[in-house]
Amino acid sequence: MKYLLLLLLLWAASLAAQAQPKTRVDSLMARAEQGLGRQDYPAAIAAYRQVVGAPGTSRRYRANAFYNIACYYGLLHDAPNARANLSRAIAAGYVNADHIAVDTDLALLHTDKQWPRLLARARQLEEKTIIRRPEDVQLVTTDIDHFWAAYAAARRDTAGAPAIFRRVYFDKASAGLRDYAELKIDSDADFAQCILQRPRYYGSIQPTTQAIAGEKPKIVAAFRRFQELYPAVRFQNVYFVIGGWVSGGTVSDAGLLIGADQSANGPGVNTSELTLLQRNRCAPVAEMPGLMVHELVHRNQGPQDGTLLSYALSEGMADFVAELVTGSLGNNGRLHPYGNAHEAALWAAFQQEMLGTNSKNWIANGRQETPEKPCDLGYYVGYRIVQAYYNRAPNKKQALADILNVHDAKAFLAQSGYAGAPAGR
């Protein structure tokens, strides 16, 4: 992940600060983004220095701000300041050692005599956060219970719904819900509106969301199978929240954050208020183990390089590994009938864009969903490339390790031998 992607993630997170007007930290983030847009790294550094010192800056924001400052100094070829701010970032909690090791923005530090010590310190701190046994993963569903208590009260007092959700749901949040709200939810008022404008849907999913707790043994079994196939897997705690259809799944320092209301389909669920895309993406609870593996892959895969090809591989491998582990493609299986029928044309079109950084026609392109053609076909293309690599490899365990540690998307594509051939079926 480049510093640009880190900046955009931070900026998106700052805009999603829950139930708050624009803050000083928001303004400083905007200033840093403007500096980056002009490639004015000193201005971006100055803005991030203010982020670090601003009241209310969270530990994660502070750690990422220091890290971005280090990257900017690296781009300015200022090794002493890059080293000093990387050290501050690690001390503040930025301990993604694998990313630090390959981030080209810090390449000038690789010959610095302090580099091995800094990287070792990051790995040492990171090790304390790693869960290595599936049995030790916490699968937290308490936020779902708090939501339903808040929902019942909000239905009785719709005018006071934002305050009710704040008091009964968000103020009792798990670490996962706190991060999810910070990253994804614009405000209490927007959240309440998203929920209350779908009374038939939310009025019908309480049993299915509460059934998620019963899926825990199946999820742990899927994690155990993942570990058998890839012993180096690192687990994270999983938090199931109700998100108001803003995100089906994301990750944070707390762990995997799952929008349970987007995976709540099942008997008796009324989806008539959902859009075509939402109905198509509304996965049944029974597919939860596969979704968990998909999200866990994202916490174990190598870095992206910013290209569409790399992005498609990261999503395609998550689907491929989930299928390998659970035997099911889950809800993304809906992409494959269309993909298999139009594979050659999709591949020809994908090649035209795959080395660029614009993914709008392939991934997260929900506006292009139609009854005839699904969106997110970049997942399908990425899956087929990964599948081709795996199928031609004689050592399957090594192939899976290679897939999860892709560092050169173009080279991986070449090694896969994939050329848009019709799917084996």
Give the DSSP letter string of 183-243.
Answer: HH---HHHHHHHHHT-HHHHTT-HHHHHGGGGGHHHHHHHHHHHHHH-TT--B--EEEE--
pLDDT for the residue numbered 133 = 92
Residue 283 has pLDDT above 60, yes or no: yes
The residue out of 127, 146, 171 marking a domain boundary is 127
pLDDT for the residue numbered 5 = 40
**Structural domain contains residue 201:** yes
Q: Let me know whether 324 and 179 are in one domain.
A: no
Q: In which domain, by residue range, is 205 found?
A: 134-297
**Distances from the Cα of 353 to the Cα of 9, 359, 380, angstroms:** 23, 8, 15
**Mean pLDDT, residues 145-164 taken together:** 97
Q: Let me know whether 284 and 157 are in one domain.
A: yes
Name the pLDDT band for 216 (thresholds 50, 70, 90): very high
What does the block give as tokens for 139?
A: 């699968």
Q: Let me know whether 278 and 144 are in one domain.
A: yes
Rounded to the nearest integer, the mean pLDDT of the chain is 88
**Structural domain contains residue 425:** no
The residue out of 62, 94, 127 marking a domain boundary is 127
**Mean pLDDT, residues 359-366 taken together:** 92
Say how far apart CA 62 and CA 6 lie, in whole Å. 13
Q: pTM for the full model?
A: 0.77
pLDDT for the residue numbered 331 = 87
pLDDT for the residue numbered 2 = 43
Q: Let me know whether 276 and 328 are in one domain.
A: no
Q: What is the pLDDT of residues 414-423, one digit of tens each?
A: 999 999 877 5
Residue 6 has pLDDT above 70, yes or no: no
279 or 2: whose pLDDT is higher? 279
Say how far apart CA 128 and CA 121 lie, in whole Å. 11
Phi, psi of 139 (to 5 degrees): -110, 100
Residue appearing with tokens 């993963």: 137
Q: Let me know whether 151 and 96 are in one domain.
A: no
Say how far apart CA 135 and CA 216 lie, in whole Å. 10
pLDDT for the residue numbered 25 = 55
Say how far apart CA 123 and CA 98 lie, in whole Å. 8
**Nearest residue to 105 (alpha-carbon basis) of 81, 76, 80:** 76
**Structural domain contains residue 408:** yes
Q: Let me know whether 310 and 357 are in one domain.
A: yes
Number of domains in the chain: 3
Residue 345 has pLDDT above 80, yes or no: yes
Q: Let me know whether 169 and 292 are in one domain.
A: yes
Give the DSSP letter string of 377-410.
Answer: HHHHHHHHHHHHHHHH-S-HHHHHHHHHT---HH
**Mean pLDDT, residues 363-378 taken together:** 93
**Structural domain contains residue 424:** no
Q: Let me know whether 240 and 308 are in one domain.
A: no
Residue 9 has pLDDT above 70, yes or no: no
**Structural domain contains residue 423:** no
pLDDT for the residue numbered 11 = 33
Q: Let me know whether 83 and 107 are in one domain.
A: yes
Name the pLDDT band for 36 (thresholds 50, 70, 90): low
**Structural domain contains residue 60:** yes
Q: Let me know whether 13 and 26 are in one domain.
A: yes
The residue out of 277, 297, 317 marking a domain boundary is 297
Lowest-pLDDT choice from 6-10, 228-232, 287-291, 301-305: 6-10
Residue 233 has pLDDT above 60, yes or no: yes
**Mean pLDDT, residues 80-91 taken together:** 96
**Mean pLDDT, residues 26-32 taken together:** 61
pLDDT for the residue numbered 32 = 65
Q: Let me know whether 277 and 168 are in one domain.
A: yes
Name the pLDDT band for 23 (thresholds 50, 70, 90): very low
Q: Let me know whether 238 and 324 are in one domain.
A: no
